[in-house]
A and B are shown apart, each in its own frame.
Chain A
């Protein structure tokens, strides 16, 4: 069977087994819609030109106000079309409901406003996702706080992530390339920053576990974690970055200030370490206790030290 191709190129690349089915129905509806729209526009234009009132007392041209045959036809045709669309759409989601038994198990934990992405067998989370082409993958979805949604347009899949529940999603990537994972359910301040790169790679690349690879220097690794763990959602890196939620990291190392109990603090290594592991312990005066904690499965001791090393360079 030849898979459906996107004739106008207006949809994202077809990068999973679900994409062609979705696109076929999408275009079926698009042609039906364009046809109906053109028909209605044509009829309206024709009427307005042909029967435009030229004299103030011009009566209507037609006295037909009812036609059972016509009414049956224009009820039945849309009825048939929409029932076909319903059945087609339902058939389309059935395979999405149950993952094949051999699907590789991933886990995505969403929180405001970032992801912990666990690859099969990994105990440490990664910042981006890697899938092997043509191999089914299943992602278990959990949330630490509010609603989020796991959405990869190139795969045509989306599933809400509901706190307190365990949802899952599966797909089989078919096209090597880089795509985007979005959070599609509004989750507050930095909702729009919850996007990550999704890599579909060949078997040879996949076995090298690219998700475990990290930049060479501690400072570069620190910056990488800053980007991946969603720190950038609340913290800037420039002197003039806006800071409605958290402080900018520019010049933060060694900074002094006051905590909510009016005691003084200095942002040294121990303080920053604690602020990452147990952010609720000490709250800077005037700030809300909103930062999520990062434990060792998210950031190892080494990772935290890398972040501190990188922070020292921001001045």
Chain B
């Protein structure tokens, strides 16, 4: 292990008592064997961004394929198209969006926010990263060898009949699941045991509350994903007869298993994103979060309710009216804490000192798109409407609003917010603002036509489609290319900043949470002196006083 070096060997860096975590040790081995939460966070950041690029390339290819309605004059065969949307979904969900915020942003910022020197279980943290890596390698292996054409949902019996690499991809998902469980567990212990002196539960920044709620979900729900994939593998290999009707199994049972995890998984993705937005909105408006307690409790409420709504993915499966009634009622309830969050963010910005920095622009893009994602979720929760909209592009557009337009954009808001802290360098803010606007525009152009097509009845996962939707599909394809350009620009200026970016100020945004009270970039163990938590979100006097 290379975490300690004798004090006299450490080169003194100007203005610092200790060298920062990026320079304290050197070499490839010092990174791949690191136990430092910040370095592990950066490895995750690098890894999930690669997964995002791979998933994004799949997305642009499949959108390009849909330029023509087919079957003639399309880029790919239907089989290849089916593989593209499956791999896009599987990479984006399992390799990118589930680990993205917990793995990178939370790993980096959570200990800083609570004034801790590291996470509680650093070795487990590194193990999580390697499990993620192994699982993602397995997914990539499946993609390269036999491909995958089951949809990211692996619905039986097609997933049992498919000739593609269902088993190795399933194993990949299984392994990534454990990475997610370990990460959640680690954060829970860290928050329970390592808060700074003076930091009670209600002095924790709201990002921590969000991570707490999503960690509970990761620990409790992800095992069900493991069970589901394991049963699928047993069915595949030994024909035990759980899911395959030909063996006496029940294909709908698979859906229950799958969504018992995958609905909470939606909140494993979005809750951390909401946490980032809370911090960004507060810092860049210089206002404490409005209705702090209600915001904290709404995270917990969302986590609890999210366990009880999985059946809303099966309204059309032949469920009893009673089950539909219960699932629909519980699902609409999720809208209440979600609305509370929305209003609280707006009220936080209201009367603030609003700096339209790059992170703030990404956060505003989040607020705009999340409003769309949240409201369209109510359509799908309502039984009579969902019967019509289920499995159409409306659903596709809805969950992309929540995952791509909200979670991924929140992730990037977080990246921009903590970037100066991570690297001590600043990106080109002008380009960053342009990229945020391009991405918001690209999102709208891609997905608004999809809402429209979906309400007209265009089913999802269609390699070919009827002429009436050509215009919408083409608009959507153009939008996807705009999104691609926006993200390419972002990756470009971020990488550029590492080499040629100006030096970041010690507290680039004037933040008041503990993460801004350690050196920039932080020391190996973060703080110079043990931090003591004072009043949370104390931005000093306001104009009114």
Does chain A bind chain B? yes
Interface contact B351-A64, CB-CB below 8 Å: yes
Chain B positions 183 through 212: 1 when the CB is less than 8 Å from some CB of chain A, otherwise 0: 000000000000000000000000000000
Interface contact B455-A53, CB-CB below 8 Å: no
B23-31, B229-237, B387-395, B432-440: which lies at the A interface?
B387-395
Compute how far the CA of A96 lies from the CA of B319 in the bound complex, rounded to whole angstroms: 12
Q: Which residue of A lies closest to B543 (CB)?
A: A61
State which residues 308-366 of B face A: CB under 8 Å. Answer: 314-318, 321, 324-325, 328-329, 332-333, 335-336, 339-340, 342-343, 346-347, 349-356, 364
**Given A162-B318, A167-B318; A43-B346 close (CB under 8 Å):** yes
Contacts of A64 in B (CB 8 A): 290, 351
Nearest-Cβ distance from residue B142 to partner chain A, whole angstroms? 17
Interface contact B245-A164, CB-CB below 8 Å: yes
Chain B positions 379 through 400: 1 when the CB is less than 8 Å from some CB of chain A, otherwise 0: 1011111111011100000000
Compute how far the CA of A77 lies from the CA of B242 in the bound complex, rounded to whole angstroms: 44
Compute how far the CA of A4 lies from the CA of B149 in the bound complex, rounded to whole angstroms: 41
State which residues 159-179 of A face B: CB under 8 Å. Answer: 159-160, 162-165, 167
The answer to the question of A153 belonging to the interface, with a C-beta cut-off of 8 Å to chain B, is: yes
Interface contact A192-B356, CB-CB below 8 Å: no
The answer to the question of A147 belonging to the interface, with a C-beta cut-off of 8 Å to chain B, is: yes
**Given A44-B367, A86-B332; A153-B385 close (CB under 8 Å):** no
**Given A62-B542, A146-B161, A162-B251; A36-B371 close (CB under 8 Å):** yes
Chain A positions 139 through 154: 1 when the CB is less than 8 Å from some CB of chain B, otherwise 0: 0000001110101011
Interface contact B325-A90, CB-CB below 8 Å: yes
Interface contact B317-A160, CB-CB below 8 Å: yes
State which residues 65-104 of A face B: CB under 8 Å. Answer: 65-67, 70-71, 74-75, 78-79, 82-83, 85-86, 88-94, 96-97
Q: Which residue of A lies closest to B285 (CB)?
A: A60
Bin the interface of chain B by size: 35 or more
Interface class of chain A by DSSP: mixed
Interface contact A158-B286, CB-CB below 8 Å: no
Nearest-Cβ distance from residue A27 to partner chain B, whole angstroms? 10
The answer to the question of A41 belonging to the interface, with a C-beta cut-off of 8 Å to chain B, is: yes
The answer to the question of B16 belonging to the interface, with a C-beta cut-off of 8 Å to chain A, is: no
Contacts of A153 in B (CB 8 A): 388, 456-457
Contacts of B383 in A (CB 8 A): 86, 89-90, 92-93
Contacts of A67 in B (CB 8 A): 290-291
Select which of B343, B372, B456 is within 8 A of A74 by beta carbon. B343
Contacts of B4 in A (CB 8 A): none
Contacts of B342 in A (CB 8 A): 40
Interface contact A189-B459, CB-CB below 8 Å: no
The answer to the question of A37 belonging to the interface, with a C-beta cut-off of 8 Å to chain B, is: yes
Nearest-Cβ distance from residue B516 to partner chain A, whole angstroms? 16
Contacts of B420 in A (CB 8 A): none
B109-117, B128-136, B405-413, B460-468: which lies at the A interface?
B460-468
The answer to the question of A288 belonging to the interface, with a C-beta cut-off of 8 Å to chain B, is: yes
Interface contact A195-B350, CB-CB below 8 Å: no
State which residues 282-313 of B face A: CB under 8 Å. Answer: 285-292, 294
Nearest-Cβ distance from residue A306 to partner chain B, whole angstroms? 24
Interface contact B291-A26, CB-CB below 8 Å: no
The answer to the question of B444 belonging to the interface, with a C-beta cut-off of 8 Å to chain A, is: no
Contacts of B257 in A (CB 8 A): none
The answer to the question of A134 belonging to the interface, with a C-beta cut-off of 8 Å to chain B, is: no
Interface contact B149-A85, CB-CB below 8 Å: no
Chain B positions 488 through 523: 1 when the CB is less than 8 Å from some CB of chain A, otherwise 0: 000000000000000000000000000000000000
Interface contact B375-A60, CB-CB below 8 Å: no
Contacts of B462 in A (CB 8 A): 191-192
Nearest-Cβ distance from residue A163 to partner chain B, whole angstroms? 4
Interface contact A75-B336, CB-CB below 8 Å: yes
A180-188, A251-259, A265-273: which lies at the B interface?
A180-188
Name 6 A/B residue pairs within 8 A (Cβ), A-sorted: A75-B336, A82-B332, A86-B329, A89-B385, A183-B459, A192-B70
